[in-house]
Amino acid sequence: MPIVRTKLDTLMRLTNVSDVETLKNALFNLKCESEVGEDGTIAVEVQSDRIDMFSVEGIASAIKLYLGLEKPVFIQLKDLYFKVFVKPPTRRPYIAVAAVTNVNLDDEKLKLLIEFQERLHVTFGRNRRKVAIGLHDLDKLPSPTLEYKDVNIDETYMIPLHDFREMSIRKVIEMTEQGMLYGSLALNENMHPAILSKGKVISLPPVINSDITRLTENTRNILIDVTGTDVNAVHAVLNSIVHALSFYGGDVLGAEIIYPSISEVTPDLRPRVVRVDLKLISEWLGIGREQLLQIEPALNKMGYRVVTMTEKYMEVEVPYYRNDILHQVDVIEDMAIGIGYDNIGFEEVEPRLRIAKGLDLKSVVSIIRETLVGLGYTELNTLTLIPSQIVEELGFRDTAIIVNAPSNEINTVRSNLFQSVIATLKSSQYIPQPVKVFEIGEVVLNCPSCYNKWKNELRVCWAIMDSETRFEDVHATLYSVLRELGLEGVFKLRPCKAEMFSKERCADIYLGNRVAGVMGEVHPEKLVKLGILYPVTLAELSINILYSLLTNK
């Protein structure tokens, strides 16, 4: 998950909080891990779906709301200042534009802003493939009328950022560092997307801005352009940047985006209204009718405003920058955070197998499945046949090969679920992170003593792909699964030597004296060979061994 680092003094100044423990407790309750360094910095690990908190200003805003230091404020556009005429580029068709005035940048704020931009690029923007951001000095803009279209890379010229020479876009792509890194992402033969103002290129998304509108510590009014392949992602990123910059109290200027067949206004600062069932709140949070009176102040602490309250439901306004709120359940979770889990109370429940009257393999599978779904994993159901390339790259050799297979994509029988899950993750790199998946299925193992030399075994595998994921993530899931089965006290971890994992970042899972599984961090070199851009951690357990142990127990 993304980590935001800044000076502790800066965060304390922005939040008006003078006590470090108060700050850390607020961050913990907002689902953020924090660590104060000896050098006077603080590192905050934020949830990957809270892109509004990828900035120091966004974190400060959330803390101030949570501590009741300010009330939710819903800002409005001051003016529709820009007109953007769009001829949708073939490979990057969407754009959103806004400006925030009176920001009063200094060296520190400029540094924080650039770090925020790159954090969005690398994580939510998928290394600029999905979304790219341009930041400009509005006062240097030739005209508020903009064009966004594909241009010929040999016939169009610009001055790249931090340069003084005017050069063709082809040379920008071929000669500059940014061009070599990102020039191929949106290039379509000899055409490339560009943003123009009065005929001058001010941005070459997703590659580089023009030096004409370069930001400096003297910049007071900031123009933001966001382009990408997903219109919802483009709008979400623009809103998160507007939210961060408007923390300093500036006005927001909007744009009319004119496509060939439609037009729209960006940014859309209107709050969304979500209806929440009061009965569902009581069922999910276990609170009585009298505690429902605490809901409004709890929601205010998370940035919401209550607009309607009846006997059966309530309607709340969701802040424009909270793109992670997709369902009324998301609002209920924020209610729980606002009320405080300690104030809600808890009920201790025995693991179901300890109180179950009967035990069979189906019930074991059901409990494992429900536990993993409850921990936020999505279930996969893949084929038993997989590509041999995956098997070879991961270092597995004792597998059954299909003779005369119709395709290289289905020419090997999987010997573990890692192979199927890794293949799925490889094709899932451009969906929102973290990607948390699991699969329950059979694998085929070499068995010299069996009549046909092979046997089937039922296993479960879970995996996490994120910008940052560690051994401890899948270890925590292992403990939860075994606890639900009443086996948390019988497992041990010992060093493993599996080729696919990083050294000293993996472990064999022992249940009693038997190796029942393995887990760890996939070696970066393996991921590179497979074309996977993000860290992956995974674990696998034999359900047959689990069931055998439970039966004997």
Has residue 313 got a pLDDT over 80?
yes
- pLDDT score for 175: 92
- pLDDT score for 553: 63
CA distance 412 to 534: 25
CA distance 538 to 158: 46
Could you read off the pLDDT of 51-67 as tens digits, one per residue?
999 999 999 999 999 99
- pLDDT score for 358: 60
Which distant-in-sequence residues (6+ apart) come within 8 Å of 339 by Cβ?
Answer: 285, 287, 291, 294, 295, 298
The sheet carrying 313-318 orders its strands as 272-277, 313-318, 305-309
Which distant-in-sequence residues (6+ apart) come within 8 Å of 507 by Cβ?
Answer: 471, 475, 493, 494, 495, 496, 518, 519, 520
Helix (H, G, I), strand (E, B) or coil at 470: coil
* Mean per-residue pLDDT, 502-512: 88
- pLDDT score for 177: 92
Phi, psi of 261 (to 5 degrees): -115, -20
Contacts by 186-192, CB closer than 8 A, 24 or more apart: 186/89, 186/91, 186/92, 187/91, 187/153, 188/89, 188/90, 188/91, 188/150, 190/152, 190/153, 190/154, 191/89, 191/90, 191/150, 191/151, 191/152, 191/153, 192/89, 192/150, 192/151, 192/153
Strand segments (E) across 345-487 = 378-380, 385-386, 400-401, 412-413, 435-446, 454-465
Has residue 348 got a pLDDT over 80?
no
Which of these, 105, 23, 95, 11, lies nearest to 66 by C-alpha position? Answer: 23
- pLDDT score for 340: 84
The pLDDT mean for the chain works out to 89
- pLDDT score for 355: 45
Has residue 157 got a pLDDT over 90?
yes
Helix (H, G, I), strand (E, B) or coil at 485: coil
Structure token pair of residue 237 = 């990123």
- pLDDT score for 357: 52
Has residue 352 got a pLDDT over 80?
no
**Partners of residue 536 on adjacent β-strands:** 465
User: Around Cβ 483, how many Cβ atoms within 10 Å?
Assistant: 13
Q: Which of 68-82, 225-239, 535-549 has the highest mean pLDDT?
A: 225-239
* Mean per-residue pLDDT, 230-244: 95
Structure token pair of residue 68 = 């009741």
Strands 378-380 and 435-446: what pairing? parallel
Which distant-in-sequence residues (6+ apart) come within 8 Å of 499 by Cβ?
Answer: 394, 395, 523
∠ CA 187-193-198, nearest 5°, is 150
CA distance 150 to 219: 29
CA distance 205 to 195: 8
**Partners of residue 125 on adjacent β-strands:** none
- pLDDT score for 270: 93
- The pLDDT > 70 percentage for the chain reads 95
Has residue 222 got a pLDDT over 90?
yes
Which distant-in-sequence residues (6+ apart) come within 8 Å of 83 by Cβ?
Answer: 144, 145, 146, 255, 256, 258
Cβ atoms of 297 and 261 within 8 Å: the answer is: no
Confidence class of residue 342 from pLDDT cuts 50, 70 and 90? Answer: confident
Could you read off the pLDDT of 32-58 as tens digits, one per residue?
999 998 899 999 999 888 999 999 999
- For residue 363, which amino acid is it? S
Has residue 267 got a pLDDT over 90?
yes
Cβ atoms of 291 and 338 within 8 Å: the answer is: no
**Partners of residue 85 on adjacent β-strands:** 147, 258
- pLDDT score for 349: 60
- pLDDT score for 405: 67
Has residue 21 got a pLDDT over 70?
yes
Domains in the chain, start-ordered, CATH in brackets?
A: 3-66 (3.30.56.10), 77-266 (3.50.40.10), 273-344 (3.30.56.10), 352-552 (3.30.930.10)
Has residue 320 got a pLDDT over 80?
yes
Total length of the chain? 553
The better pLDDT of the pair 387, 467 is held by 467
* Range of weakest confidence among 230-244, 273-287, 443-457, 537-551: 443-457
Which of these, 325, 329, 533, lies nearest to 433 by C-alpha position? Answer: 533
The sheet carrying 41-45 orders its strands as 3-7, 41-45, 33-36
* Mean per-residue pLDDT, 162-183: 92
The better pLDDT of the pair 160, 445 is held by 160
* Mean per-residue pLDDT, 523-545: 90
Phi, psi of 291 (to 5 degrees): -75, -15
- pLDDT score for 448: 77
Has residue 252 got a pLDDT over 90?
yes
Has residue 266 got a pLDDT over 90?
yes
Cβ atoms of 210 and 223 within 8 Å: the answer is: no
Which of these, 446, 439, 456, lies nearest to 401 by C-alpha position? Answer: 446
The better pLDDT of the pair 455, 411 is held by 455
